[in-house]
Amino acid sequence: MGDRSASSVTGHLEALFKKYDDVPREVVVKEDILREGIAPSRAALAHDPRHETYQLFSWDPSRPEEMEEQTAAISLPDILVLEGGQYSLRPVRVRPRIREKSAYALDVVNGGLAVCDRATSTPLVPVVPFPPEPECFSKAFDDGTLYREICGLECHIIAFRQCQYWGKQEECKFCDINENARVKMRLGQVKTLQPKKTDQVATVIEEYLVNQGIELTSHPYYRTGVRHVHLNGGTVTTSLQGAGEQEFYLNYVDAIKQRIGNRFPICVQTTPWTKEMEQMAYQRGVNVRMSNFEVWDSSLFKVICPGKSKYIGREEWIRRMLEQVDIFGEGNVCSGFVAGVEMGRPWGFKTVEEAVRSSTEGMEFFMSHGIVVRPISWCVEGLSDLGGQPLPPTDYFVQIDRNWFEIWLKYNLPPHAMFSGVGPGVNTYPNSGAMDMGLV
Ligand code: SF4
Residue 7 lies in a domain: no
Specify whether 205 is located in the same domain as 223.
yes
Give the model's confidence band at 274: pLDDT under 50 very low, under 70 low, under 90 confident, else very high. very high
CATH code at position 295: 3.20.20.70
Residue 196 lies in a domain: yes
Residue 82 lies in a domain: yes
pLDDT of the residue at 2: 47
Give the model's confidence band at 1: pLDDT under 50 very low, under 70 low, under 90 confident, else very high. very low
Specify whether 110 is located in the same domain as 141.
no
Residue 171 lies in a domain: yes
pLDDT of the residue at 216: 57
Specify whether 185 is located in the same domain as 81.
no
Specify whether 50 is located in the same domain as 147.
no
378 vs 210, more confident: 378
Cα 268 to ligand 1 centroid, rounded to whole Å: 14
Residue 5 lies in a domain: no
Best of 171, 270, 304, 431 for a ligand 1 pocket test (most atoms within 8 Å of beta carbon): 171
Residue 4 lies in a domain: no
| 210-238 average pLDDT score | 73
Instruction: State the closest ligand 1 atom to the C-alpha of 164, by its place in the atom list counted from 1.
Output: 6
Specify whether 174 is located in the same domain as 56.
no
Domain boundary among 80, 100, 126: 126
Specify whether 214 is located in the same domain as 87.
no
Give the model's confidence band at 92: pLDDT under 50 very low, under 70 low, under 90 confident, else very high. very high
71 has pLDDT over 90: no
What confidence tens digit (pLDDT) does each residue in 176-209 have? 999 999 999 998 888 888 999 999 999 999 988 7
Specify whether 94 is located in the same domain as 146.
no
Specify whether 157 is located in the same domain as 25.
no
What confidence tens digit (pLDDT) does each residue in 413-436 have? 998 878 778 999 989 899 999 999
Domain boundaries, position 334: 135-436
Cα 162 to ligand 1 centroid, rounded to whole Å: 9
Specify whether 115 is located in the same domain as 155.
no
Residue 100 in contact with residue 41, Cβ under 8 Å?
A: no
Domain boundary among 60, 94, 126: 126
Specify whether 94 is located in the same domain as 59.
yes
Cα 168 to ligand 1 centroid, rounded to whole Å: 12
Cα 180 to ligand 1 centroid, rounded to whole Å: 12
Please, what is the average pLDDT of the chain?
Answer: 92
Domain boundary among 65, 97, 126: 126
Residue 3 lies in a domain: no
Residue 10 lies in a domain: no
Using H for helix, E for strand and C for coil, what is the string for the chain? CCCCCCCCHHHHHHHHHHHCCCCCHHHHHHHHHHHHCEEECHHHHHHCCCCCCCCCCCCCCCCHHHCCCCCHHHHCCCCEEEEEHHHCEEEEEECCCECCCCCEEEEEECCEEEEEECCCCEEEEEECCCCCCCHHHHCECCCCCEHHHHECCCCEEEEECCCCCCCCCCCCCCCCHHHHHHHHHHCCCCCCCCCCCHHHHHHHHHHHHHHCHHHHHCCCCCCCCCCCEEEEECCCCCCECCECHHHHHHHHHHHHHHHHCCCCCEEEECCCCCHHHHHHHHHCCCCEEECCCECCCHHHHHHHCHHHHHHCCHHHHHHHHHHHHHHHCCCCEEEEEEECHHHCCCCCCCCHHHHHHHHHHHHHHHHHCCCEEEEEECCCCCCCCCCCCCCCCHHHHHHHHHHHHHHHHHCCCCCCCCCCCCCCCCCCCCCCCHHHCCCC
276 has pLDDT over 80: yes
Give the model's confidence band at 219: pLDDT under 50 very low, under 70 low, under 90 confident, else very high. low
pLDDT of the residue at 222: 56
Residues with C-beta less than 6 Å from any ligand 1 atom? 163, 165, 171-172, 175, 177, 234-235, 307
Cα 280 to ligand 1 centroid, rounded to whole Å: 24
Domains: count for the chain: 2
Instruction: State the closest ligand 1 atom to the C-alpha of 233, by its place in the atom list counted from 1.
Output: 5
pLDDT of the residue at 215: 57
Cα 67 to ligand 1 centroid, rounded to whole Å: 25
pLDDT of the residue at 75: 85
pLDDT of the residue at 422: 93
Alpha carbon separation from 437 to 14, 406, 424 (Å, rounded): 18, 9, 6
Instruction: State the closest ligand 1 atom to the C-alpha of 234, by its place in the atom list counted from 1.
Output: 5
Best of 54, 160, 172, 270 for a ligand 1 pocket test (most atoms within 8 Å of beta carbon): 172
- Residue 84: strand pairing partners: 89
Specify whether 61 is located in the same domain as 144.
no
Specify whether 323 is located in the same domain as 372.
yes
pTM > 0.75: yes
